[in-house]
Amino acid sequence: MRARDIAEAYPVVGVDTSALVAARLIAGDRLPGLVVTDRDGTPKAVLPASEVVRFLVPDYVQDDPTLAGVLGEVPTEWLAGRLRKATVAELLPVRPAELAVLQSDDTLVELAATMARLRSPLCAVMDGKRVLGVVTAARLLELVCGGQPE
């Protein structure tokens, strides 16, 4: 079994994609994150769902989390408003984690080793320069131990 046999179709966003669109893609399919490509289509980074959540929170609350309790209930529109004005590039951490990238003929062990090393929730599988699909950690676990008898 090779990476190409395991990779699944998966939304890929560009650095210029609206942050709100990216958030909805994650929400709609309950994804652990998204693969972000550069303007030339090269995979650039993983955008973990937690980084999008981080962007919802105003900087002054991130700096002092006790303020979150003081704010009380805020309308979800207020939180979504921050995403509406931003692009995916703004959601990425200053030093994004290294993206796990595999080639289509890489083996299951190579896939697991790369995801393990980068502690990444997903990796991009390439066919040359094109993103063929994505493998999530959950998908890999399904293949390895999903259907086996006890």
CB of 47 to a second copy, least distance (A): 11
> For residues 4 and 85, what is the distance between their CA atoms, to the nearest angstrom?
36
Residue among 30 and 129 whose Cβ is closer to a second copy: 30
Q: Which is nearer to a second copy, 40 or 147 (CB)?
A: 147
Q: How far is the CB of 101 from a second copy (least distance, A)?
A: 13
Q: How far apart are CA 134 and CA 131, in angstroms?
A: 8
d(CA 31, CA 150): 28
3-state secondary structure labels for all residues of 55-116: HHCCHHHHHCCHHHHHHCCCCHHHHHHHHHCCEHHHHCCCCCCCCCEEECCCEHHHHHHHHH
Binding residues for a second copy, rule: CB under 8 A, are 1-2, 20, 23-24, 26-32, 48-54, 56-57, 61-62, 65, 68-69, 71-74, 76-77, 79-80, 83, 106-110, 112-117, 119-121, 136-146, 148, 150
Closest to a second copy by CB, 2 or 4: 2
Complex with a second copy: residue 119 or 129, whichever CB lies closer: 119
* Cβ at position 92, least distance to a second copy in Å: 13
